Structures are given as structure tokens and as C-alpha cells.
Amino acid sequence: MTEPMKSLHDARRASQISVLRVLYGAYVWTLFFVLALATTLAVAILPGIERRRRLARATARAVLRLAGMPVVLKSQERIPAGQCVIVANHASYLDGVVMTAALPPRFGFVIKREMSRMPLAGVLLKRLGSQFVARANPNSGTGLAQGAADARRMVRNAVNGHSLVFFPEGTFSPIPGLLKFHTGAFVTAARSGCPVVPAVLRGTRTALPPKTIWPRPSRIEVEILPPLYAVTETNGHATMGLRDRARNAILLELGEPDLSTA
């Protein structure tokens, strides 16, 4: 094949791939919005938070399976039978859907407060018992006060036996790697006396990369790591130690760069 013909062939192939990607993306987003709308309407009237969470879990699993994104949960037996706090790396907007599909329905999610104001998602998340927290803003006295109030509420929920899921990075990076962890999840666990369970998410960055709306079929894994317990120390070091041990465990198994010093 001559060079001009090869270039033309490559251009046609790239065009075909682009068309297929757009068609696949349109299918996935249509599937997602139709099932999300139906689930939100059902959750709005369904009594009992356990029932609502079971429905959300079934919907999340159906969406991911039909989208060609099968979820594999590894080492599920490491999740304690009692209350706990699960912390996971954050790589994509899919992460919450994946964790909803993978985890038992007794878990509630801790989510940034802005999500509560989104018309569809806000209603769904509130009815599923999600906990909303303000983003940290050291330059705002109001933000600090709200953050302290949110932290106290998280502790009360944990003390009352609720199991929670945090993404302690608070956001995700456009490049692979693990950002620094905020302390909220670890304060909650240390003060309530429940274990922190690190979890590693793999494949969501490939399935829905940051800064794009076009998903891709991909195998997704959620691996549960051994639970960690706070060590009694003074001057708040128990919380910091718990945070660092959880982050190191995730970083080791994730196999991506450490972005905390970037």
C-alpha cells in the first residue's frame, strides 16, 4: 500500500472510530438518563431508605452492565458486618455510580453540598440518605463554620451506627495519580470508634475520562483492602495517622503516581 493510500485508509478508520464512539456515547447517556429519571421518580415515593437504596443499587448495576462496564467487587469479605467508613480513590464522575452498584445498600455517601442543588440528582441523593458537606474554604469564616458543623453531623451519624462512603481527595485529577486526602472521613471514624476500610477503584478513568463526555466500554474493579483502626494518640495524631495509613494502602495497590506533592 502506497503512503497516500495508507494515510487515506488511516483517516477513514479514525473517522469510523469517532462515529462509533459518538453512537456508543449517545446510547450510554440515553440509557443513564432514562433509568436515572425512572429511579428518581420511584425513589421519591418509595417508603424506607433501605428499599430506596436497594432500588438505586439495582439501577446502577443495570446501567453499568448494559453500558458494557461490568463491575467486579474483590475481597468483599473484608467489609465489616458492623458500621464502618469506606474511603476510595476518586478518578471519574462514574465513581459514585460504581460504588453504589458494588456496595451493600446500608452505606450512605458523603457528597459535596453543590450536588444537593442539582434538580434531578439532588432529589435522588437526598432520598438515598446522602450527607452533604461544604467544600473547605480557609478564607471564609462562614465556610469554616459550615465545615465544622458538617464534621459534627458526620460524627453523629457514625456514632448512631450509619456506615458512610467518602472520596477523601474531594475531587479528581485529569492525569492519573492520587491527590492528598482531606481529614473528614478519618475524624468521623476516629471519634466514632469505627474502622476505616480503604477501597481501590480501577477502570473508571478509562470508562469516563476526566474532561470528556464520551464514555468507553471498560471493565471496572472495586477492591476492598483490610480495615484500619485508629491508634490512641494525643494532639489529634490518631486522625492524621489513620489518614496516612489509609492513603498509603490505596496508593500501594492503585499503582498510580503520588500527586500530593505535585
Q: Could you report the per-residue pLDDT of 81-132, keeping only the tens digit for each?
A: 888 999 999 999 999 999 999 999 999 998 887 776 777 777 888 888 888 8
159, 17, 149, 154: which is closest to 87 by C-alpha? 154
Average pLDDT over residues 152-164: 65
Specify the pLDDT at position 7: 54
Specify the pLDDT at position 138: 46
Q: pLDDT exceeding 70 applies to what percent of the chain?
A: 81
Average pLDDT over residues 187-212: 92
Q: Average model confidence (pLDDT) for the chain?
A: 84
Residues 30-60: pLDDT tens digits? 999 999 999 999 999 999 999 999 999 999 9
Specify the pLDDT at position 262: 59
Domains in the chain, start-ordered, CATH in brackets?
Answer: 3-254 (3.40.1130)
Check pLDDT > 50 for residue 8: no
Specify the pLDDT at position 63: 95
Specify the pLDDT at position 144: 44
Check pLDDT > 60 for residue 190: yes
Q: What is the pTM of this model?
A: 0.85
Specify the pLDDT at position 10: 47
